[in-house]
Structure 1
Amino acid sequence: MSVLALRLAGPLQSWGASARFARRTTETAPTKSGVIGLLAAAQGRDRTADLTDLAALTFAVRIDQAGTRVRDFQTARHADTGKAMPVSERFYLADAVFVAAVAGDDELIHALHNALQAPAYLPFLGRRSCPPQGPIDLGTRNGNDPAATLRDEPWHAAPWHQNRHRRNASVTLHLLSESAADEPLGTALRDQPLSFAPTHRRYALRNVVTTTVDLPNPQYQPPQRSKSTAKPLPAPRHNPEALLTPLPPQPPLDGR
């Protein structure tokens, strides 16, 4: 068994699990169906291809940089008639960084790793309008637990984001387990892919368990202590009249 780690970062991301019709929302973290779709596209699989092997991969995702939720309104027209379509309201995550991990058979994991090096189709972060920033592949790890891999993986947030934190950072870890009976009850999320066929896309429910993990901050620098023993200067006395110019003497009113 092996684990494949992925860094999912870009100007915009959108990971919908229940988006329908003219309102397209996004989850706060990448969905399993979105990541499996990315891997299937990298391998050049058709949308109607069998997903049994990819759907069987165990999956977890870590929120290294939550980003900001933004809303966009889009308009479109039918190509044949020119008739306007309903205004579409779409939500995205801006400047977010996630680390996802999938675990499975060694042969399949290494095949996915090789596919990400030279993808058949351009990978995107939930929607085609959301290309990734930088390489996605973080390499393979030994083991069969993606959550354990993410607990040991370094923090991949942007340097400017890391500079805002102290020695350690507490990040959110989503454990999307398939059937572990000992997992605590979480939130049901319909992102277990069954079929990506355009005519009949199908997804099953899974249990989402959320926890936190503390990671060391690579940008942290301890404060420098001054070796000077001189006493600090006292604060200057506040004198609000210091900037006022005194008026010249005025002659008496009786002329004397």
Structure 2
Amino acid sequence: MTENRTLLLRLAAPLQAWGDHRAVIDTRHTSAQPTKSGVIGLLAAALGHERDQPLGPLADLTIGVRTDLPGTLLRDYHTVSDYRGTPLPSANTNPAGRQKRTSPPRHTMTTERFYLQDAAFLVAVHGPTEVVERLHTAVKAPVGLLGLGRSSCPPTFPLTLGLTDQLLLDALRSQEWLATQQARDVWRRRHNGATPATIDVPATIDDPNGGTTLHDQPINYALTGQRHTTRHVSHHLITLATGFPQSPDTPAGEDHDPLALLGW
């Protein structure tokens, strides 16, 4: 048995929301792709971890994310009030970790929440074989409710695409494009009927020598104390076959040159 393995997850749904450092009580932003803290939180929920439970071996997992369909941004605007007529809680907590009431009292609050619509991501999770195989079993029969960044965003299935002995980048390169037939039709309409044989999709992987720093490495999920630290990542482009039928005007394998009309 190999020492390490990689779990492949398909994170796709009508709505996803991956919180980032901009999150405040009245505005909840979303990152453009799943955060590491969000992915590890999903796996912890599948195992049945309590919020204040130490992450243990989950903290040492490495991940890679491939953006097959970036989706579109949805802004949800609504108001919040307490049906009992009591003041709303603030973002501050008391020494016991409980939220304080707003001062001066606020009884109605407008909020904005942002989501990704119709996005699809391939996520590779790499780590010790025993840990990864246990996660594979857990996501197929989760103990807790699974959400793609928020509990109101359940995933569509299949959620797991199985296990592989490949490293992160090789695992991301080996899987076919995750777009369903309906998603391919939408993609083609948005790209003026284009039917390329291949497309390039971005991928981000954990890389201690990477040139980009992200502040989404989870430390714990407790409501108090420091919850995240930084990690280094590298960025890649992965070429995937689309499965589109070739247009008679575009021979298979012919590259599109965006500067051709300029005579360059």
TM-score (structure 1 length as normaliser): 0.80
Out of 26, 31, 38, the position equivalent to 1:27 is: 31
Superimposed CA distance per residue, residues 65-91 of structure 1 (whole angstroms, 9 cap, x where no aligned partner): 010011111322236544434211111
Q: Determine whether 1:70 maps to 2:74.
A: yes
Distance 1:170 1:159 in 2: 18
User: Match for residue 149 of structure 1?
Assistant: 171
Residue of structure 2 in register with 1:99 after alignment = 122
Q: Which residue of 1 aligns with 2:180?
A: 158
Q: Do structure 1's residue 7 and structure 2's residue 10 form an aligned pair?
A: yes
2-structure distance, mates of 1:85, 1:46 = 31
Task: Choose 1 or 2 for highest CA Rg.
Answer: 1
Q: Is the 8 A contact 1:52 1:194 kept in 2?
A: no
Residue of structure 2 in register with 1:194 after alignment: 219
Distance 2:29 2:157 in 1: 25
Task: Find the aligned partners of 1:51 and 1:162 in 2 and give their Cα distance.
Answer: 38
Partner SS for 1:156: coil
Cα RMSD, aligned residues only: 1.7
Matched residues in 1 for 2:116 and 2:133: separation? 30
Question: Distance between the aligned counterparts of 1:148 and 1:3, measured in 2?
Answer: 10
Instruction: Flag the 1:85–1:35 CA change in 2: closer, same or farther, 3 A.
Output: farther
2:198: which partner in 1? 168
Distance in 2 separating the partners of 1:119 and 1:85: 36
Query: Quick check: 1:222 aligned with 2:246?
Result: yes
User: Matches of 2:85 and 2:57 in 1, distance apart?
Assistant: 42
**Unpaired segments of 5 or more residues in structure 1?**
226-256
Which stretch shifts more, 206-215 or 71-80? 71-80
Structure-2 separation of matches of 1:146 and 1:49: 27
How far apart, in 1, do the equivalents of 2:238 and 2:56 lie?
31
The total of aligned residue pairs comes to 218
* AA partner of residue 52 (structure 1): G
Hey, what's the Cα distance between the residues in 1 that align with 2:67 and 2:54? 30
Aligned-pair CA distance for 1:189? 1.7
- Structure 2 gaps, min length 5: 88-106, 189-194, 250-264
Mean CA deviation greater in 68-77 or 37-46? 68-77
SS at match of 2:144: coil
Shift of residue 158, structure 1, vs aligned partner: 2.5
Alpha-carbon offset, residue 3 of structure 1: 0.1
Q: What is the identity, as a one-letter code, of the residue corresponding to 2:182?
A: W
CA positional deviation for 1:224: 5.4
1:209 is aligned to: 234
Which secondary structure does the structure 2 equivalent of 1:116 belong to? helix
Given the two structures, how large is their TM-score scaled by the length of structure 2?
0.78
The whole-number CA distance in structure 2 between the counterparts of 1:116 and 1:201 is 27
Change (3 A) 1:195 1:10: same
In structure 1, the residue matched to 2:49 is 45
3-state SS, counterpart of residue 151 of structure 1 = helix
- Taking the aligned partners of 1:87 and 1:101, their CA distance within structure 2 comes to 37
Give the structure 2 partner of residue 90 of structure 1. 113
Give the whole-Å Cα distance in 2 for the aligned partners of 1:41 and 1:192. 17
Larger deviation, residues 105-114 vs 203-212: 203-212
Q: State the partner residue of 1:235.
A: none
Percent identity between the two aligned chains: 39
d(CA) in 1 for partners of 2:76 and 2:139? 30
Are the counterparts in 2 of residues 72 and 90 from structure 1 also a CA contact under 8 Å? yes
Shift of 1:201: 5.2
Match of 1:110 among 133, 137, 157: 133
What CA deviation, in whole Å up to 9, does each residue of 1:161-199 have, x standing for no partner? 33524100111111233xx23x3x12x221100010123
Q: CA deviation at 1:115?
A: 0.4
* 1:132 Cα deviation after fit: 1.0
Change (3 A) 1:64 1:43: same
